[in-house]
Chain A
Amino acid sequence: MAIEDDVLVIGGGLAGATAALSAAERDATVRLISYKQSTLRHASGLIDVLGYDPTAVAGTGGEREGGEPTPLVDPFEAIPDLPEGHPYERVGLEAVRESLLFFDSVAGDAYAGDHTDANALVPTHGGTVKPTARYPATTAAGIASDPRSTLLVGFETLPDFDAPLAASHLEAAGVPFESRGVTLSFPGIERDDAKITRYAHILERDEPVDSGAGQTSARAALAHAIGAKLADESRVGLPAILGDDHADTVRRDLEERLGVDVFEVPMGPPSLPGIRLEDLLYDALEDAGVRVTTGVPVVDYESVDADGAGANRGQIDHVLVDRKRKRVPYSADQYVLATGGLVGKGVQSDRERVYEPIFDCHVAHSEDRYDWFVDEAFGEHPFAQFGLAVDRELYPLGADGEREFSNLRAAGGVLGGFDAPAEKSGGGVSLSTGYAAGAAAGEEVDR
């Protein structure tokens, strides 16, 4: 006898969690199955909606035309003009807006950016700025349109953020404020290769450290070291290491001690803001009563013919989950596929083809793998757009344009037709398609 739910969401990233939450709002019983750690911990924790207009940067062969693109001030203005097949074109502007409201209600005070439609330009650890729609509250004081002078603080044992370099880079990017960078040694770090979580724990637990002049607490020692370098700057930016579960407490404590605003600069993987977002979403899933099954892969499915369902391969009856080499069936009325793209392994490839590994949904791609990319590292790579084509209700479509299954929707990175890194649209696509797919699945069960 299969384990049964109304809605089964496969994939535990931003799209999957959003789909499960929005289905649960429709009073469906919802299960979310995820295999590996989600790619959220690789990501910066920012929620981009649309930073650059893909139609404005379209060119041929990786060469951009018409000069360099500038960031979009208002992402919502550009969405209605996106080309057919883009995930935003599929779900529509209203779903994008609704999904952001939904995210804002889930995230609460942990995120900012909901006070305006305009994109925010957030400093990156590489020293430039990038447009995004929602950002962790811990980064809010660092927004680049805020003209206050800034001291960036890096640490000699954290080699991917060089604060003096980042400060010069920000100036080269034309930011409207003075910035300066200093490099300090981090109190309490003994090993040169300590993990990023070690820094967070030292601050969160406010561990005793040896300051050279006797024992003190980590935050006091850090504030003291920063204070000694602070001139007349009115805010201080640090790499995103200010605690794990209680980042807000750590930041406010530092702000009190320094007397200026403190913000985090989002970092590469492993990313604490990404981990915090994941924790936030999983807490919300628990509160919403979603059953979460982690650490097991969905490996196969079985379908039944559903006459008149209008789908190529009928209706999914159940999926098979690999539990210690035993295949366990999980059954549901509606399914949402949110397994991610190439990074999350929701889209895979070998030398001959690109495919979706669970349901073998159609993934359009050139037969010649040398056509999957262009020669410029930041060119218009076809591989960046690999994924499923869906109709406007987010049902994956076969090569013939018909629905693959009558009860499978897809959301997030597994979708094709958009270049998330170039557009800066990954978070918004996951939110909006996850939200819409989950809502539709939940409502369909209700009927």
Chain B
Amino acid sequence: MAHDTEVLVLGGGSTGCGTARDLARRGLEVTLVERGNLTDGTTGRMHGLLHSGGRYAVSDQASATECIEENETLREIAGHCVEETGGLFVQRPEDPDEYFREKLEGCRQCDIPAEVLSGREAREVEPYLASDVKRAIEVPDGAVDPFRLCVANAMDAENHGARVETHAEVVDLLRDGDDVYGVEVRHDSGPGTRDHGAAGTTEEITADYVVNATGAWAGQIGAMADLEVAVRPSKGVMTIMNVRQVDTVINRCRPKGDADIVVPHETTAILGTTDEEVDDPDDYPEEEWEVDMMIDTLSELLPILSESRTIRSFWGVRPLYEPPGTGTQDPTDITRDFFLLDHDDRDGVSGMSTIVGGKFTTYRAMAEEIADHVCDKLGVRASCDTADAALPGSEDLAVLERGMDDFGLRSPIARRSKQRLGSRSEAVLETEEPNPVLCACEGVTRAEVRDAIGQSGSDLNAVRIRTRASMGNCQGGFCCQQLACELHPEYDEATTRAALDELFQERWKGQRHALWGEQLSQAMLNYALHATTMNRDRDPAGVDERIAFDAFDGGPGGER
């Protein structure tokens, strides 16, 4: 029987997009479906750490070795998504010497470049480190932008013929006896210029092979075909600061613990994290104590954090998994390794495998292994080239390296715009039109926003993800309106108004965990700007009841 596609990948996170890219580059016909937008699950909710492997150098050396290899690969193929910040494992006086030695040895055993710095040297690198910091190990950690990286993978898959279908939720797995042969998806209206199925309609997509790469949601997908996948979702909080207090990734050098990492990310620093098992990856408590713990515990390393301004917090769910019967109690002890569950071997149901576990840094290696497995299943002989082929946007590294002068923009803006756009900078930013800055906090210009709208359509949240517009100090209070204006006249007034409301509400959501001090003051200012000055909260355009305009003041002229 003819199928719609050879391989159907479920899930538009890093694993799914990486797998789709790999298979498409091998010449297979690939379709990827994603419930929401790309990165909507765990990928878009991580701290942006590109692991050196140092973190696992004691507990899990296989993972550590894989991390350093992939770390080096990503610097090559995705230079425009990575910031080479370097990292420090910092030891406080109360942290065990024994562990520090083990960490150093472990790094060396795994070929992770590692140098010991004295407390003083460490503070020369990062002046805000506490004065009693004892010493540190310097490793090649980095910061990575998961949004851009994931989108770049999806773009490359499409460039190689893949169909990427976002806003298409899997509502059923198609199973015929002991064979899974596809899925039924329900389309929703999605942003953009891409063709979506009509909202509310369903579509059956049949495939020779199905890859379930839905991470924390893999158990829910499995259950649709009566397959048990005992994924153990574990939540973690990330708290975003208003500025980068550090330019280096700061890790706490002790066996394990919550709140032990600070990752500089663009103009901010992200504090992480907690590790708490949850029942439902879509519905779990986001708790105040988690945010407090980030600030209180990490202030031991960086005292300035207790005085600093946090702009928002967000939570993500790790797709942890361990084989049945392992019985680990504490989620922090569950392996970070990934598992390829071949349902044919495991459950006697052919046509589908499920991927669970794993880490963002090693998404490419995971994708390679999955693609190998799929090729094996389908009897395809094709080799992987994803470790050598640069991702879209980074093919021309010279463009990334040229200075701000190239574009006649002020330096921080050009530099950052170029990081965001990679080799597309020239095409986007060299415009004859006036190109004012629309988001002053993040330095995002009109040309970049229009380019993102061209790619993402009227969904301003997607524009935000592509450009970082509205993600700075003011959390969109000042620029949401500007961003919405750029939708017009391509999109009509009602669409523009709805997009603005949606972005403003989304920006509000994350701030709720940072509402005290400066950020509460900012929230009140944003509220006043949008409600008092613009009357967006009582906008008569959103109301059925018409205003009796002639009952109001007709102006001081009096004759009217």
Binding site for B on A (CB under 8 A): 42-44, 48, 51-52, 67-71, 73, 112-113, 115-116, 118-121, 124-131, 137, 140-141, 143-147, 156-162, 164-165, 168-169, 171-176, 185, 192-193, 266, 268-269, 271, 341-343, 345, 348-351, 368-370, 372-373, 375-378, 381, 383-384, 420-422, 424, 426
Give Cα A45 to B520, complex, Å.
23
Does B21 belong to the interface (CB within 8 Å)? no
Interfacial residues of chain B within 473-498, with CB under 8 A of chain A in the complex = 478, 481-482, 485-486, 488-489, 492-494, 496-497
Residue-wise, chain B 528-560 has the 8 Å CB interface mask toward A (1 for contact) of 111111111111111111111111111111101
Does B186 belong to the interface (CB within 8 Å)? no
Does B512 belong to the interface (CB within 8 Å)? yes
Chain A to chain B contacts (Cβ below 8 Å), 29 pairs: A44-B532, A44-B533, A51-B535, A71-B540, A71-B547, A116-B553, A119-B553, A121-B547, A121-B553, A128-B541, A141-B555, A145-B555, A156-B434, A164-B489, A172-B493, A172-B494, A173-B539, A173-B541, A192-B435, A193-B437, A350-B517, A351-B517, A377-B504, A377-B530, A378-B527, A381-B527, A420-B532, A421-B537, A426-B528
Question: B540 near A128 (CB under 8 angstroms)?
Answer: yes
Give Cα A44 to B532, complex, Å.
9
Q: For B515, what are the chain A residues with a Cβ–Cβ distance below 8 Å?
A: 369, 372-373, 383
Known: A143-B553, A146-B560. A128 touches B535 (CB 8 A): yes
Q: For A145, what are the chain B residues with a Cβ–Cβ distance below 8 Å?
A: 549-555, 560
Question: B525 near A165 (CB under 8 angstroms)?
Answer: no
Query: Among A341, A342, A351, A375, which residue has its beta carbon within 8 angstroms of that of B512?
Result: A375
Does B292 belong to the interface (CB within 8 Å)? yes
B151 to chain A, nearest CB (A): 25
* Interface of chain A: mostly helix, strand, loop or mixed: loop
B534 to chain A, nearest CB (A): 4
Question: A143 near B555 (CB under 8 angstroms)?
Answer: yes
Does B438 belong to the interface (CB within 8 Å)? yes
Question: A162 near B488 (CB under 8 angstroms)?
Answer: yes
Known: A70-B547, A343-B525, A377-B504. A266 touches B436 (CB 8 A): no
Q: For B488, what are the chain A residues with a Cβ–Cβ distance below 8 Å?
A: 162, 164-165, 168
In the complex, the chain A residue whose C-beta lies closest to that of B438 is A159
Question: A157 near B549 (CB under 8 angstroms)?
Answer: no
Does B288 belong to the interface (CB within 8 Å)? yes
Known: A113-B556, A378-B537, A421-B528. A165 touches B508 (CB 8 A): no
Q: For B523, what are the chain A residues with a Cβ–Cβ distance below 8 Å?
A: 342, 373, 383
Question: A68 near B532 (CB under 8 angstroms)?
Answer: no
Give Cα A128 to B434, complex, Å.
26
Query: Among A165, A345, A421, which residue has its beta carbon within 8 angstroms of that of B496?
Result: A165
Does B329 belong to the interface (CB within 8 Å)? no
Query: Among B486, B509, B532, B544, which residue has its beta carbon within 8 angstroms of that of A48?
Result: B532
Give Cα A372 to B513, complex, Å.
11
Q: For B533, what are the chain A residues with a Cβ–Cβ distance below 8 Å?
A: 43-44, 124-126, 266, 268, 271
Residue-wise, chain B 396-410 has the 8 Å CB interface mask toward A (1 for contact) of 000000000000000
In the complex, the chain B residue whose C-beta lies closest to that of A161 is B485
Q: For A143, what are the chain B residues with a Cβ–Cβ distance below 8 Å?
A: 553-555
Q: For B537, what are the chain A residues with a Cβ–Cβ distance below 8 Å?
A: 378, 421-422
Does B516 belong to the interface (CB within 8 Å)? yes
Question: A68 near B538 (CB under 8 angstroms)?
Answer: yes
B524 to chain A, nearest CB (A): 4
Query: Among B433, B482, B520, which residue has its beta carbon within 8 angstroms of that of A342?
Result: B520
Give Cα A146 to B492, complex, Å.
26
